[in-house]
Structures are given as structure tokens and as C-alpha cells.
Amino acid sequence: MLVTGQDEAEPDLPSAEEEDGYRGRLIRHRVKKILLMAVPLILIAGCVFYLYYRSQNKIYTEYEVAWTKDLPENEFSSYMEYGAGVLKFGRDGSSYINASGDVVWTQAYEMRSPIAAVNGSYAVVADQEGSNIYIFNETGCQGSVSTTLPVTSVTIAGQGMVAAVLEEGDVSYINFFDRTGARLDIEIRLWMGGQGYPISLSLSPSGTQLMVSCIYADAGSMQNNIAFYNFSEVGEMLDQRLAGAFPVGSTVCPQVAFLSDTRACAFLDNGIAFYAMEELSASEPLLPEQGPSYTYEEEIRSVFYNDSYVGIVTESSGQEFPYMLHVYNASGDIVQEFGFDFDYSSAQFSDYGICFYNQTELCMYAYNGVLRYRGDLGGTLGVIVSLSQSRLLRVGDQTVSEVTLR
């Protein structure tokens, strides 16, 4: 057996106090490292929040006209916000004006009473009580239709499908056309003494659903019904493709609107009703269900909407403001209410706020109710398009201008 001169020494183990001190230093080091990383992130987040809050509450008092361009003169022209610019339509033709003020295309025609509708990048112009329909996208005319019966109203889907109401005595026909003007093998026949007379209709963005407001006589009184039709493949299993019907009694519904493929609303003469289209299963169609509804004691002055919000302006019962704005999201939840005293003729939503304007002045609010600007923009206001929070496209007086708020 091998014997060494001395036993091997055992290593010295740290005491409990030394171990606690080491752990404390390690924890402090880690905390310091985390703070060094977190503090800059907190400062950056704070700066972003401050800048966002400041931008959302920024108030403008002046304006500057960046440029002005002349437009071709047309008699009795109307304007609608469309695409990234403006649709100008009248008796002798239509034009698309982009955000740079350039006329992208012009389509000549002759109409006695032109009406128009837009949905995404598509637009339709028709001769009310006439027979001509033109279908456009942002590159120009995609198709036209000449009907055998007079047109009373039209609507268009986001992919270019058009639904038109044609009249023949006591019978109304809803015919459908694709973006090229070719008639589709779909027709809805409505009889005044049965289903009723259609006073408003709206296609969903995908073109697979139609919402119609009809009035009809029942026991000597006028009644109103909201009907939904489904034109997808699964809609074929439904009787006459009718997906649902909602009577609203003697209350008149002069306007209906699809906000998206799954959200819609009906503007009543005394309130609003929201609808949701729910898919029951992969093999069953989207069927409408009624959601929240609201009734107002005060008179409704105007309604407006986009794909995210619905606005209703009522007369105010208070003494401070003559008008009250009620803003709802697409699900029908109230998101904002406030009073105002601006005498407007047009109202619209944008990505940056709420605009009220008349021929000479603009009143613009943030979505949180902050008044951002009130005053003129140096010219007649036919339509306003918000290019950014402070940049606007102003069209009117046969001119188009870019205006920057300061």
C-alpha cells in the first residue's frame, strides 16, 4: 500500500455569510442589468406615448395651400370621396381625381339625373329613372349596362359586382351585373302587394350578401322590413336565397349599409339597428342576427359611416349645443358622444378624425372629441379628403387643392 507523507487537504467551503453575500451581489448585478435595459425602453415608450397624445390633441389654427389645380368645367357636378381621391360625376360625364390633383380618367355620357355609389376601389354611376349604368375602378371604366327598365337605385360591392333596382309598375326587379357589365344569372322579384317596394339596398364588400329595406302595405298601414339575401354557394340551400328578415313595424328605414362582410346596420327614422352575420358552421351560410339597437327622442339630422364607425347627428335637447353626435363601432357599441354647434351640410369619417363642413368652413374633431380645427380653407368645399392628420384634399369651384393645417 502506498502511503503519502501527509493526508490530502479538504477544500475550504464558503461560509453561509459568504454565500449570502455572493448571492446578493449576483442579484444586484442582474437587477442593475435589467434596469439598464429597461430604463431606455421605458423612456422610449414614454416619448412615443407623449408624442401620440400630443398629436391626438393637437389644435390647428391656420392653413397653408400647397398647390391648386384647375378641373375641367362641368355643369351640376357632384363629388364623392373615392379611392385615394375624389369621384366627380355629373350629367355629361364622370372623372377620377387622385391625391395629387390629377384627372386620372374621364368618362363621357349623357344622363338626366346621375346617382353614384362607391365601395373600396370600385364605383358605379347610373341614370336614375334612366337606363344607363357605368362601372369604374381607379384605372377607368370597366363596363357599362343599358337596361330595358328604368333604374331607381344602385349599389356596388368591393369587387365590382353591381345590384340595380329596376321598376315595372307594381313590380321591382333587383338585377345583378359583374364588373364588366355582364348580367349575372340572379334576380330578386319584389311585388308591392307582397314583399314590398325596395327603398334602399347595400351589397357586402365581397358581393356575397345583399341587404334591402322594403316598405309594404299591411291592413291599411305602411310597414317596413329589413331582408338579407345570400349569394354564396351555401346560400343556394336557402329558399329564394333569403337569409333572414327583420320587421321594424311602421318605423321607416330609408338607408341600409354593410360595414363589412359580417357587420351591417339599418338607419331608421328614429334610431339605428345593428346586425351581425355569423357562420354557423363550415357547411352552413352566414345568417344575420340582430345586435344592439338605439332609439332617439330627438330628430335625426344626418347619418354617415365607414367600415369602422357609424355616426348619427341628432338635434340636441340641451341648451348649450344645438346638435349631438353619437359614434358607434361596427359592433354597435357606443364609443363617443358630444355636442357641437357647427352648421354643416356634410359629415364624414376619416382615418384621422371626424369632419363636418359646409360650402365655406370646416370643423374637424379627433375621435376623442377634441376640436382640432374650425375655419375656412380658402375656397369652396365640395368634398374634403384627409390625406394625413394635417393634410387635406379640397375640391370645389372647379379646382382641387392640397391644404396643410398649421
pLDDT of 232: 85
Burial label, 290 (beta-carbon count in 10 A; 0-12, 13-18, 19+): middle
Task: Please name which of 140, 138, 143, 188 lies closest in space to residue 161, comparing C-alpha atoms.
Answer: 143
Segment 113-125, tens digit of pLDDT? 999 999 999 999 9
157 membership: H or E segment, kind and range: none
pTM for this prediction:
0.85
Burial label, 292 (beta-carbon count in 10 A; 0-12, 13-18, 19+): middle
Q: What is the DSSP string of 189-239?
A: EEETTTT-EEEEEEE-TTSSEEEEEEEEEETTEEEEEEEEEE-SGGGGGSG
Q: Are 311 and 334 in contact (CB under 8 A)?
A: no
Question: pLDDT below 70 — which residues of the chain?
Answer: 1-22, 35, 39, 41-57, 279-285
Q: Give the up-direction half-sphere exposure of residue 73: CA atoms within 13 A in the CB hemisphere.
A: 0
Q: Are 226 and 216 in contact (CB under 8 A)?
A: no
pLDDT of 278: 79
pLDDT of 367: 94
At 110, is the secondary structure helix, strand, or coil?
A: coil
Q: Which three cell numbers stand for residue 140?
A: 377607368
Buried-exposed string 142-167: b where 16+ CB fall within 10 A, e elsewhere = bbbbebebebbbbbbbbbbbbbbbbb
Task: Please name which of 379, 354, 351, 377 lies closest in space to residue 365, comparing C-alpha atoms.
Answer: 354
Q: How far is CA 233 from the centre of its chain?
A: 27
Q: How many CB atoms lie within 10 A of CB 370?
A: 14
What are the distances in angstroms from CA 270 to CA 216, 276, 370?
A: 19, 21, 27
pLDDT of 213: 98
**Strand (E) positions, 296-331?**
300-305, 309-315, 323-329
pLDDT of 4: 44
The whole-angstrom separation of Cα 243 and Cα 78 is: 35
- Long-range contacts of residues 7-15, Cβ cutoff 8 Å, at least 24 apart: none
